[in-house]
Structure 1
Amino acid sequence: MKVADSGSALREILKTVPGPRVLVPTMGAFHPGHISLMHRAREIAGPNGTMIVSIFVNPIQFDRASDLAAYPRPMESDIAECEGAGVDVVFTPDAGSMYFPDRSVTVTETLLSRGLCGATRPGHFDGVCTVVLKLFLLTGCDAAIFGEKDFQQLAIIRRMVRDLDVPVEIISCPTVREPDGLAMSSRNTRLTPEQREDAPRIRKALLEAASLETADEILRSARTLIEASPLTRIDYLSLVDAETLQPVIALERPAVLAAAVFYGEVRLIDHIAVKAR
């Protein structure tokens, strides 16, 4: 396994590696969900292709300085996890090597990013699109693997690739969960024991609400169940079209029930599919 800490070092390494190249973009702090993405990338790349994992805590996608500062960065153990997962190349740049001090170009998506995380985290998806496009260009990847937990991010990246004719295949992998149903996230480690015990209520609330008949009933039920805990603070709770991500009133098409919930300073997201009625 080779490690590159800058774009120039990465390009030198990639001059000698075989294709296809499959990228797993991450911000590190690996859990089994990340490892599942790597295993999928290995399958796609095959024994003779190249799996690339990027580890970069991207500062321009954080809307809160405190969240950026608190984000875990266990680089040594992350690199060890990469080696154990059969990664061929690890890319570990810092912000100084990724962004010029006077950078003036940003990639902006204007429709799918209006609601959900985009509405409550200004500039977040500009940062995501910009760094993902840079990673595509730096690695020259043929395919990239993303988790479905961040379903809005996945939809926006697919749209960016479509609209800009980016020659990268986007492959998604299902959300990996803890035994109690909580979606795995690097942020889970920042929960207090009391918060961690309560956090599975997000998934339970979404599942219970999704069985109801109308959009109003679904949203009212999910909100009531989440807010039943004094530990929670809802950032957003939305029922949106599964394709356009626009709010829905009538369940005439497949939809997604999505939530972002704060436990103290820790923001957790989750979603479930809702069938048309």
Structure 2
Amino acid sequence: MTLPSLPLFHRLTGHPVVVLGHGEAAEAKRRLVLRAGGKVIEDLAEGIDIGARLAFIAHEDEGACEADAIRARGAGLLVNVVDKPALCDFTTPSIIDRAPVIVAVGTGGASAGLAKALRLRLERLLPQSLGTLAEALYNARSAMRARWPTGPERRRALDAALEDGGALDPLREGGNVDAWVAGAADGVSGRFVIRLRSNDPDDLTLREARLLGQADAVVAGPDVPAAVLARVRADAARVAPGTDEPGGGIVVVIERA
């Protein structure tokens, strides 16, 4: 499956960002840039001269939007033209802020209303303690390396802790990272077989979807649909059937039922 766009988190602190236009749409972009620590520049030529990399364009006149978009793009800036996806190099998502955790919901410019509705629904699910949990995990990195020396060992233990009902379930309040590191199990490992019932990844059980997301290696032939393989971790090894399977960790074999 091809992504319509690649989601990235761009650090703006102290960097110039061009914002052109008047009215509420332009003001909203100015507030967004300032919230991210950027420096708002309201003149395109000045922005180009001082090395701006992003430009938000929110003129009411469509011709002015197109002209400034061409100028900015020609100078090497990435451009966002408000409400005109066809003129955009990037779009801005609807944001849930649990700093340092940031959840971004985007539709590639197809429907800002849908992105907003999803954000509001997710806001009710995600506790305010997510940021505290993230900071505690960051502070526990040395202790985690001592407890689980290799990357795969740490990932498996953390996957087990963060899953539904785990010791650090992120959708529940009150997870204690220090206590978890001191007493946690090493997490699941082994060889697991998933037998597909259809080409639709939505037909995977919750356990099967979780295994694909946690797998260190996946054994799959060319008949396995791309939509199913899209559920696999991007950094998991892909192994052809009949070849040597890696030892250790979680190995998931995908077969036809």
TM bin (shorter chain): under 0.3
What is the TM-score of this pair, normalised by structure 1? 0.21
TM-score of the superposed pair, with normalisation by structure 2: 0.22
The higher radius of gyration belongs to 2
